[in-house]
Amino acid sequence: MERDDAGHMRDRVGELLTAVLERNDLVPDDLISVWFTATPDLHSDFPAAAVRELGIVDVPLICAQELDVAGAMPRVVRLLAHVETDLPKSAVAHVYLGAAAALRKDIAQ
């Protein structure tokens, strides 16, 4: 994330979840639950608020804070989605957007 701003966070988190759904041929009804974490420098809004703005209102969501580790990449939101899918684990597309793609070059799509 380029900055800690509620509107920006909602846009980027919405973009992230949409990319996860699209790249894995999922629809919102496939979501069981979603966990979000944000680095300690992001506090303008809850990442889950972006999901509600997308109209996904019947899925449990939770937000937590990442560990404050020296040297960690700043302004990062991560999500862990529990989904219903027939995809084998090897076919699941892991999504890393923006600068976060550098975190896992081995699996970033």
Residue 109 lies in a domain: no
Residue 41 lies in a domain: yes
pLDDT tens-digit readout, 22-61: 999 999 999 999 999 999 999 999 999 999 999 999 999 9
Residue 85 lies in a domain: yes
Residue 36, φ and ψ in degrees, nearest 5: -120, 140
Residue 14 lies in a domain: yes
Residue 97 lies in a domain: yes
**Residue-averaged pLDDT of the chain:** 92
Residue 20 in this model has a pLDDT that exceeds 90: yes
| Whole-angstrom distance, CA of residue 64 vs CA of residue 71 | 19
> Is 36 within 8 Å of 13 (Cβ atoms)?
yes
Question: 47 vs 4, 8, 85, 90, CA distance in Å?
Answer: 11, 10, 24, 27
Whether this prediction's pTM lies above 0.85 is answered by: yes
Residue 82 lies in a domain: yes
Residue 38 sits in a domain whose CATH number is: 3.30.1330.40
Residue 1 lies in a domain: no
For the ranges 9-13, 68-72, 101-105, the lowest mean pLDDT is seen at: 101-105
Degrees (nearest 5) of the Cα angle 50, 52, 57? 155
Residue-range definition of the domain harbouring residue 61: 6-104
How many domains does the chain contain in total? 1
